[in-house]
Amino acid sequence: MFAGSAAVVDEWTDVPFLPAIPGVVVAWIVSVAIHEAGHFIVARRSGMTPYCVAVIGLYAWASSDGWRVRFTRLPASVGGFVISHFDADRSFRQQMLPMLVAGSGANLLMGLLLGAIGAWFWPSSGGAYLCALAFFSACVGVANLIPVRNKFLDNDGLLLLHWLRGDCEHAPAMLMHRLNALSIKGITAENYPTEWIEGLRDTPVLGPAVRHWFRLCARQNTGAWSDIAEIGQEFEADVQALPPAAAKALSVFIQQMRTEVVFSEAMASEHDDGGICRHIDALLDWYFPALRPRCQALEAALRGDRVAMRGFLGESEKKMRKTHDLGYKKSEEIIRGSIMAAAK
């Protein structure tokens, strides 16, 4: 596509090849951005909640404190992606199909539109660039509809094929999505169907480790703090069994889980055993900004500093205000109440 678009500009206009190259790079970035914007807009219109968007190296995450953006290196075979939570009350298939088609749909639509505008201004260099951009956008759209298995992410065409053919909606791999959808809706972990949580044990690769998260949240919300040390040990055993690449992909979650285990043990023993924040690093702060001040609030509560505790609780609450995850918000409210009750 790169060579094709550059050649279009080079051959059909007076613009020399080399200055056309930055134009083609821009065309590539714009085409991927159009593609992901299509996914994002239609996901929202279908009732889904997008929470993670990547375009080339730009990575945006809907944290509890609003959208956060940073640069990251994506695998060379992945231009971008949008990841969304489902609406628990609607058919997943009816949400997924329009969202999958929307990326390529946006590319083809923009291809037509920009091609028409470019043709109008032809043969000026601006018109030629617009035609090249239209060509590029259409190529990105068509390429994404051809089913290709990717090491990192199944592409739209392959996912579309799965969702059109099979009963993906009730596949065990969807259990995690079902549980997340309940959380988005405002249902907290102690009210999730136990068979869904236990079913994660049989889902491939990440399921067994992630299952402990829902078990842990259910215990935290009901004040069963002393049960959590055992969940922590089972979690560590499942982490040990993960392939190295999967453990790397889950590294933020692993640190989050370890922090929650340390937090819960401190709640159970009413004793700070060496710093409740000790597993929180800069990346965990970036993803879950309310976690550190909540842990600091417990540290303050256990040393009898009620003024500092209230300050940290207020800070943590403030960082939860923009969350889209209503179940997470409710759980944090319950936990803040437990910290106040534990204050010496």
Identify which of residues 105 and 172 has a Cβ nearer to Zn ion in the complex: 105
| Positions 116 through 145 that interact with Zn ion (CB under 5 A) | 144
Among 103, 115, 208, 232, binds Zn ion (CB under 5 A): 103
User: Based on CB atoms, which residue is closest to Zn ion, 11 or 149?
Assistant: 149
Report d(CA 88, CA 326) in Å as an integer. 13
Q: Which is nearer to Zn ion, 142 or 187 (CB)?
A: 142
Report d(CA 311, CA 24) in Å as an integer: 52
Q: How far apart are CA 265 and CA 272, in angstroms?
A: 9
Q: Which is nearer to Zn ion, 156 or 325 (CB)?
A: 156
Binding segment toward Zn ion, per CB under 5 A, in 148-156, 161-169, 271-279, 293-301: 148-156
* Phi, psi for residue 83 in degrees, rounded to 5: -115, 130
Environment class of residue 331 by beta-carbon count within 10 Å: exposed (0-12), middle (13-18) or buried (19+)? buried
Cβ at position 24, least distance to Zn ion in Å: 20
Nearest to 215 by CA among 189, 240, 195: 189
CB of 35 to Zn ion, least distance (A): 6
The residue within the footprint of Zn ion, chosen from 156, 260, 265, 299 (CB under 5 A), is 156
Q: Which of residues 178-237 bind Zn ion (CB under 5 A)?
A: none
Q: Which residue has its beta carbon closest to Zn ion?
A: 103
Select from 15-23, 55-63, 154-162, 302-310 the region that touches Zn ion (CB under 5 A): 154-162
Our CB check for Zn ion shows the closer of 77 and 233 to be: 77
For residue 52, the cross-strand partners are: 61, 83
C-beta of 103 vs 327, nearer to Zn ion: 103
Nearest to 228 by CA among 237, 220, 240, 238: 220
DSSP β-ladder status, 58-63 and 49-55: antiparallel
* CA–CA separation, 99 and 163 (whole Å): 12
CB of 33 or CB of 132, closer to Zn ion = 33
CB of 50 to Zn ion, least distance (A): 12
Number of residues that bind Zn ion (CB under 5 A): 3
Residue 123: asked if its preceding bond is cis (omega within 30°), the reply is: yes
Under the binding rule (CB under 5 A), the answer on residue 79 touching Zn ion is no
Q: How far is the CB of 103 from Zn ion (least distance, A)?
A: 3
> CB under 5 A: which stretch of 97-105, 119-127, 186-194, 275-283 binds Zn ion?
97-105
Provide the 10 A C-beta neighbour count for residue 258. Answer: 18
- Report d(CA 72, CA 182) in Å as an integer: 30
Contact (CB, 8 A) for 55 and 32: yes
Rounded to 10 deg, the angle between the 291-302 and 306-318 helix axes is: 170
Which stretch, 6-14, 102-110, 192-200, 221-229, contacts Zn ion (CB under 5 A)?
Answer: 102-110
Distance of CA 12 to the CA centre of its chain: 42
Residue 133: CB minimum distance to Zn ion, A: 18
Q: How far is the CB of 273 from Zn ion (least distance, A)?
A: 47
**Min CB(85)–Zn ion separation in Å:** 17
Give the contacts of 173 (CB within 8 A, at least 6 positions apart): 203, 204
DSSP 273: -
Can you give the binding site for Zn ion, defined by CB under 5 A? 103, 144, 156
